[in-house]
Amino acid sequence: MKNMLKTTTVQVTREVIDSLNEVKEYPRETYNETIIRIITIYKKIRAKNQYDEFLHKIQQQKMKELWDNKEDEDWEHV
């Protein structure tokens, strides 16, 4: 016997259905396919944002090293 997919019923508002209809890639795309696509996009964006935050933190430390030094402070009092 083939591996049967388990399905469930989820109640959503009419506004959610309307929004899902707006973001479908093609008219016959199922809500399940649309939701999976949205989740995939969300995960990619979240992973990219985490990477960007990581780079920003690294850059902050390096910029602090470059700009917070005695030589620069001496120029402020010339």
Rounded CA-CA distance 48/54 in Å is 10
Tokens coding 58: 């690294």
Q: What is the CA radius of gyration of the chain?
A: 25
Buried b (16+ CB within 10 A) or exposed e, 7-16: eeeeeeeeee
Q: What is the pLDDT of residues 50-77, one digit of tens each?
A: 878 878 887 887 777 777 767 666 666 6
Identify the band that residue 4 occupies on the pLDDT scale cut at 50, 70 and 90: low
Over residues 9-20, the pLDDT tens digits come to 999 999 999 999
- pLDDT tier for residue 2 given thresholds of 50, 70 and 90: low
Which sequence spans correspond to the domains of the chain?
18-71
